[in-house]
Structure 1
């Protein structure tokens, strides 16, 4: 028999979820630790989802009830030479980059542990919902490396320099409530309900114009790394790409006719 997939892409069932995809981390025996093969699987899944033009939102979740992802597979790393580690690096970057680069809004559903690279996968999404028993953190400095899946950049952008510095330099594990207060999470729900809540948010997102969603995310992502004047130019270009679309015409018509839009998606 072929080995079980390490990452699954599914289309969740439920009201208003027709345009939502779910990427499920599915290496439960290793608590979804990111091995070389796992990194390849994450990148492949995210790229497959990104190529689906019918999608409007993505949920990133785990098949394990108490572990979203515990980060890099340190058992595998223990067998690596320096050359092996160097060879793995582009694969790891591709995995995190593929999630970060999803062209539609992405919502992470975190229950249990999201540590190191696992937390970085969540931070690569646009919104992070966590169960109240979740534990997150970037403990890499405690094992002689630094966060390398975007953590040093994404956390600073989410919570500011000093708060991110304390989290990274101490390597502390944070409870869901602590991480919410820090600004690293967007919502905390009862344990075991992160996926359900993430899907509900995804359904609300997916009700909106696919053209507008993609261009809004593009404007926000590209604009976050430049000065205000440049960001406003990026926003204007994305506005123009949306304002003359079929979706804009349908949105205005549906509003005036007091009905639900039927987005053409172009």
Structure 2
């Protein structure tokens, strides 16, 4: 890493053809707060100013987590306007990844849960450590995925698997994620960076205009349906955030106990 956009939350580096973005909150398992999401958008804008750019990677600092989700303790006390702003910011960050002009590779080095998995799924390719664990556990908090998970998980795994993972909130191992189509490649933790570099080099060595236009067409193939689904997801997330079940789910999470949901 050679350059810093935000010394507290997002680092960038790389060379003339590859940009590396690192979410840098390892003590918080790289949880997505407002600073991270804003920093991610700014980082993407900055690195794409380089005309020779051919690929972007995104990973998390440390060895435990790619991104372990949202910052639940912080979220729990947000009011309606603040939570709406947060969810809309998260959606903008995911769209910024998806609409980057070059392929974006998620290098999943640990937990990718909730918003972390949604971030990975907004990338074009997901390369995971064999020690990575992935899931959409939002129903355990009384909410649903709010950064595109209900839409992009279906695109990656099909509706049946998406139902299973979202309804249960279960966390799965990297090898099962590979079998389900949720990730594209699994390598040993010790060789993760080398594996990511090898794949990036495959992209770098191809015709850049052809790769970029292929990315645009692949994105546009499902964009119309995706955008309407994302809007409905935001609206439903905000409705659920006002429920007693959401309050109980987040309180139970912070108290490290089982939630007692009432359906209210």
Q: TM-score, normalised by structure 2?
A: 0.79
**CA deviation after TM superposition for structure 1 residue 214, in Å:** 0.8
How far, CA to CA, are the matches of 2:33 and 2:144 in structure 1? 17
How far, CA to CA, are the matches of 2:222 and 2:87 in structure 1? 26
> Hey, what does 1:118 align to over in structure 2?
116
User: Alpha-carbon deviations, 1:176-214, whole Å to 9, x = none?
Assistant: 011111110111111243232112111110111221111
> Hey, what does 2:56 align to over in structure 1?
58
**CA deviation after TM superposition for structure 1 residue 133, in Å:** 0.8
**CA deviation after TM superposition for structure 1 residue 226, in Å:** 6.9
RMSD (Å), alpha carbons = 1.8
Flag as ranges the 4+ runs of structure 1 deviating above 4 A. Answer: none
SS at match of 1:64: coil
User: Alpha-carbon deviations, 1:106-163, whole Å to 9, x = none?
Assistant: 1111111010000111111111111111000011111111111111111101111111
Q: Which 5+ residue runs of structure 1 have no aligned equivalent?
A: 13-17, 228-266
How far, CA to CA, are the matches of 1:26 and 1:11 in structure 2? 16
**CA deviation after TM superposition for structure 1 residue 53, in Å:** 2.3
How far, CA to CA, are the matches of 1:107 and 1:68 in structure 2? 13
> Hey, what does 1:102 align to over in structure 2?
100
Matches within 5 A, 1:1-266: 4-11=7-14, 18-225=16-223
User: Alpha-carbon deviations, 1:71-102, whole Å to 9, x = none?
Assistant: 11111112312222122222212211111111
SS at match of 1:193: helix
> Hey, what does 1:244 align to over in structure 2?
none
Contact 2:87 2:147 in 1 (8 A): no
Contact 1:110 1:195 in 2 (8 A): no
How far, CA to CA, are the matches of 1:220 and 1:47 in structure 2? 21
Contact 1:65 1:192 in 2 (8 A): no
Q: TM-score, normalised by structure 1?
A: 0.78
How many positions carry a matched residue from both structures?
221
How far, CA to CA, are the matches of 1:22 and 1:144 in structure 2? 35
How far, CA to CA, are the matches of 1:74 and 1:81 in structure 2? 14
How far, CA to CA, are the matches of 1:51 and 1:137 in structure 2? 33
User: Alpha-carbon deviations, 1:234-264, whole Å to 9, x = none?
Assistant: xxxxxxxxxxxxxxxxxxxxxxxxxxxxxxx
Contact 1:111 1:192 in 2 (8 A): no
How far, CA to CA, are the matches of 1:221 and 1:192 in structure 2? 32
**CA deviation after TM superposition for structure 1 residue 29, in Å:** 1.4
Contact 2:135 2:171 in 1 (8 A): yes
Moved more, 103-112 or 50-59: 50-59
> Hey, what does 2:239 align to over in structure 1?
none
Contact 1:109 1:130 in 2 (8 A): yes
Q: Which 5+ residue runs of structure 2 have no aligned equivalent?
A: 1-5, 226-264
